[in-house]
Chain A
Amino acid sequence: MREGLQMRRRDFIRAGTLGGLAAGGGIGGLGDPLAAIVGGPGRGVAEGRVRLSSNENPLGISSAAKDALVEAIVLANRYPADQHRALVAKLAAAHEVGEDQVVLGTGSAEVLQMAVQAYAAPRAKLVMAEPTYEAVTNYQRTEAYELVRVPLTPGHEHDLDRMREAAESSGHPALVYLCNPNNPTATITSSAAIDAWIADAPDHVFFLSDEAYIEYVEDERMWSSLPWIAKKRNVLVVRTFSKIYGLAGLRIGYGIAHPDTAARLSDFASRNNINQLAIAAAGASFRDEGLMEKSRVVNRESRQMVEATLDELGLERMPTQANFLMHRINGDLATYRGRMAEAGFLVGRDFPPMLDWNRLSFGLPEDMGRFCDTLRDFRGKGWT
C-alpha cells in the first residue's frame, strides 16, 4: 500500500513541471522557469529602484540563515509549536531570563500590537515622542487611548520631563512608547535619564521600550532597558530580527518582560504566529557575530559616505546611531521623493512635523555612492 502511495506521488511529480527540473537539477534548472513565474517587474526591488526607504539590511540574510531556511522547508506543513518553544528557550538563555518572559511576534510590530491592546483601558494615555515610529497608534481604536505626542528636545532626545508629566499627572494608566534609538531621527535618548524615570515611576505607567536598532548603537550613553524586567512588571523590551539580522520579510521579533506581563501579552498573540522559516533563520542568525560585524562595517561605510556628501552640500543632518539618518532637503518632501524615485531611489516617508527633512536608510556602499552623485546632481539643478 505504501509503495503504491509513493508511486502515485512520483507519478504526480513527473506529471508536474518539476519533472524536467529533476532531470536538469540544480540552480540552472530552476533559473529560467522561475524568472517566468516572477514575471519581470513588480513592486519595489524588481522595479530596479534601490530601497533606501524602510531601514532594511541591504546585505540580505546570512548564508547560515539561508541554510537553516532550506533545512526548515521540510517543516512547511507542520505547525511550529515545538520549534517556537526551542527558539524561545534559546533567546531566554541568551538574555538570562526565564522562558516565560519571552514572547515572539510576527515582527516586533506584533509585540507592540499586543502591548497596545493588552493595556488599553478607559481614560488611558498613550504617550509618545513626535516624531517617532508611528506603529503603536495603528493597533487600537483611537478612542481607547488619549494620544499625547511630545516633541523631541532640541538635542533630538525624547523629552522625558514632559512625557513624564503627561504620563503621571492624571493617575490613569499610561503607555509610554520609547523608541531608542528613535525612528525616524536615528538619535538616542540618554539611558541614564530613562532609568531614573523607570526607577521612580508608579505602576500605572507602562514602558514600551522599542530597541529595534540597538545593535547599531555605538554611543555609550545608550544601553538596554532589559535589566528592569527582573524588578518591574511595567517594562517591556522589544527587539526585532528585521534590522541588523536582515529578516524583515520573514516576520519575527520578540518582547521580553516580567512573566506576568509576558502572560498578559500572550493573550493577544496569534496562535502559532511565527512561521517555520523565520524561526529557523532567526535561530541561525541570533548573535551571529560575523553577520553583525559585517552589517555594522557596511553600515558605517555607507553612513560616512552620506555624511560627507551632506556636509559638502551644506545639508543639515542629525547624528545617527542606527542604519539610517535624517537630513534636510531644502524643499518639498513629496517632490523630492518623486524625483529620487525617478532617479532610481526609494527614500523615506513623511514624518510630520519634519516635512523638510528626509529619512534615508543606508544601502550598500556602491548604491550610496550613486545616491550621493544623484544628490550632487540635484544640487546642480537647484532641487536641493
Chain B
Amino acid sequence: MNTRFSRRHFMGSAAAALGALGLRPQSAFGVALRPPPPGLAPLDPYDDLAKLSSNENPYGPSDKMMASMNAAWKYSNRYGYPDGDIHEKIAEHHGVSTRNIIMNAGSGETLKVAGITFLGHEEKVVGVEPTYTSVYRVASGIDADVIARPLLADHTQDIDDLIKVTKRNYRDVGMVYVVNPNNPTGVIVPDSDIRQLLDGIPEDIPVLIDEAYHHFIQDPSYSSAVKYIKEGRKVIVTRTFSKIYGMAGLRLGYGIAPAEMISEMRTYATGSVNALVRWGAVAALEDHESEAWVKDTTIKLREATAEQLRSQGFEVIPSETNFFMVHTGRPASEVRAEFRKRDVAVGRDFPPMLDYLRVSIGTEEEMKRFLVAWKEIFPDGMTATGAR
C-alpha cells in the first residue's frame, strides 16, 4: 500500500490527475495495478509476478526519499540545477573527499567504467565464478580476458588461489574483482581475507570490490574495504542506491577510490545521473529509520524462508544479503520454468552452479507465494528430487 500512497503524494501538481487512483483495482499484494506509461506497449504479465529474480527492494524508496524527489521533477529540462549536494554528501558519508567519488547511472556504470579504465589494454581480470558478471562482460567486449576461478566447497572465495593466479599472471592482470558479499551466493569475504588479498598481490594491481549488498550484512567478520582506500591502497569500492534504498529503476551508484584512480575513470564516464535520483539519494543517506526497517524485514523474511526449505531437507547457502541460493538437485532452468508457470520469477542461471536457484527476498506476500509454489514443485522434499 505504501507505494500507492507515496505516488499519490508524489509531484503534488499532478495529484489532481491522479485523483481517480484510489478507484483503480488493486492487486492482492498492495501494489496498484496501473496502466503502462502513455505511449509504451503494455508489459503484460509483469504486474502479477512475484518478483524474486533481480535482488530488488520490493518496498521502493522511503517516503522521505519520495518527498525529496518530489521537489526535483521541475529540473527535468536542465543540465544544471540544485541537486542537494549529493556528491558532497556521499563523500561525507564515507569520510573522504569528493575527489574520491565518481557517481554513475547505477554501480553497473561504475563497474563498466572501471573495466574500460583498468582493462583497456587487453589486460586480464581475475575473480571467481560464479559472481556478478558485469565486469567480465565488459572485459570480453573490449577483448580483455577473464580468469574466473572456482569457489571453494563451502562457497567462499578462495583468496589463496586468487593471490596465486594474480601473481602467476602478474604482467597481464589489469584488475582483481571481488564481489562482497558475493552475488549469487550471498556469502561474504571476511575482512581478514580482503587484507590478505591486498597484502598478497603486487600493490600496483587495482582491486575492485563490489559492495552492492553491504547494508544487509550482519556478520562481524565483514568490514567495508573503504578503509583501505584511506590507507592509500589501489582499491575501488562500488556502492549502489539500487538495493537497500530501493531505487534500482532510478539509476544511481558510485565508486570510491584514490583520487588519481577516480580521475582516470572520469575520462570514460558521462554525466549520467538524473535530477530526481540525486534528491532521493540525499534523503536516503539521512533516512536511517527506513534503512534499518528494510534490513530487518528482509533478514527476517530471508531466514524464515530458508528455514522452511531446510526443514524440507534442502541445502540453503547461508546468506548475508537480500537473496539466497538453494540447492535444487535438478537444473535450475527447469525449476525456474515451473515457478514461472506459477507467476513467480526467480533468479537466472549462474554457471557452474546450475543446480542452485537464486531467490531474491520480496515482500512477505511474495515469499509465501514462493513457498507455496516450492511445495508444488518439490512435493516430496529433497530426498525424492535428489534421486532423479
Contact = CB atoms under 8 A, between A and B. Distances in A.
B347 interface: no
A335 interface: no
B109 interface: yes
B51 interface: yes
B249 A5 contact: no
Contacts of A17: 63-64, 67
A325 B39 CA distance: 33
B11 interface: yes
B63 A283 contact: no
A69 to B, nearest CB: 6
B251 A283 contact: no
Nearest to A13: B63
Contacts of B205: none
Interface in B34-85: 34-41, 43, 46, 51, 54, 56-64, 66-71, 73-84
Interface string B1-35: 11111110111111101100000000000111011
A9 B1 contact: yes
A140 B275 contact: no
Contact of A73 (B10, B137, B368): B10
A250 interface: yes
Contact of B78 (A5, A30, A51, A268): A51
A76 interface: yes
Given A5-B297, A6-B1, A107 B271 contact: yes
Contacts of B40: 83, 86-87, 90, 279-280, 283
Given A13-B2, A270-B106, A284 B37 contact: yes
A27 B71 contact: no
A279 B250 CA distance: 10
B247 interface: yes
A249 to B, nearest CB: 4
A139 B270 contact: yes
Interface in B240-283: 242, 246-251, 267-268, 270-277, 279-280, 283
A231 interface: no
A267 B142 CA distance: 8
Contacts of B280: 76
Of listed B4, B40, B104, B267, residue having the most chain A CB within 10 A: B40
B67 A18 contact: yes
Nearest to B3: A74
B224 interface: no
Contacts of A26: 12, 15
Interface stretch (A58-66, A190-198, A336-344, A372-380): A58-66
B343 interface: no
Interface stretch (A33-41, A154-162, A179-187, A220-228): A33-41
Contact of B75 (A6, A45, A139): A45
B62 A251 contact: no
SS class, residues of chain A in contact with chain B: helix
Contact of B12 (A31, A73, A77): A31
Interface string A70-111: 111111111110110011011000000000000001110110
B218 interface: no
Contacts of A138: 267
A117 B115 CA distance: 12
Contacts of A72: 37, 249
Interface in B203-256: 242, 246-251
A384 interface: no
Contacts of A9: 1-2, 59
Contacts of B82: 38-39, 41-46
B105 to A, nearest CB: 5
A261 interface: no
Contacts of B80: 43-45, 51, 53-54
A340 to B, nearest CB: 15
A67 B62 CA distance: 21
Contacts of B172: none
Contacts of B202: none
A90 B39 contact: yes
B385 interface: no
A235 interface: no
B79 A79 contact: no
A51 B106 CA distance: 28
B364 A1 contact: yes
A61 B280 CA distance: 19
A144 B154 CA distance: 44
A284 B76 CA distance: 14
B35 A284 contact: no
A333 interface: no
Contacts of B62: 16
Nearest to B12: A27
A330 interface: no
Nearest to B80: A44
Of listed A4, A31, A41, A79, residue having the most chain B CB within 10 A: A79
Interface in B132-178: 134, 137-138, 141-142
Contacts of B272: 106-107, 109-110, 251, 270, 273
Nearest to A18: B63
B270 A67 contact: no
Nearest to A3: B364
B333 interface: no
A248 interface: yes
Contacts of A270: 104-106, 108-109, 112, 272
Contacts of B35: 71
B378 interface: no
A8 B137 CA distance: 41
Contacts of A80: 249, 251
Of listed A1, A58, A67, A77, residue having the most chain B CB within 10 A: A77
B175 to A, nearest CB: 17
Of listed B36, B51, B78, B289, residue having the most chain A CB within 10 A: B78
A379 to B, nearest CB: 28
B141 A76 contact: no
Given A54-B78, A68-B38, A106 B66 contact: no
19 contacts: A60-B76, A67-B14, A68-B38, A71-B37, A73-B66, A76-B61, A77-B246, A79-B249, A86-B36, A90-B41, A110-B270, A248-B77, A251-B105, A273-B106, A274-B251, A277-B250, A278-B274, A279-B40, A281-B76
Given A28-B12, A107-B271, 11 more contacts: A5-B364, A5-B365, A16-B63, A54-B80, A74-B34, A77-B249, A105-B270, A242-B79, A246-B76, A249-B79, A272-B251
Pairs A-B, 4 closest by C-beta atoms: A42-B82, A27-B12, A267-B141, A106-B272
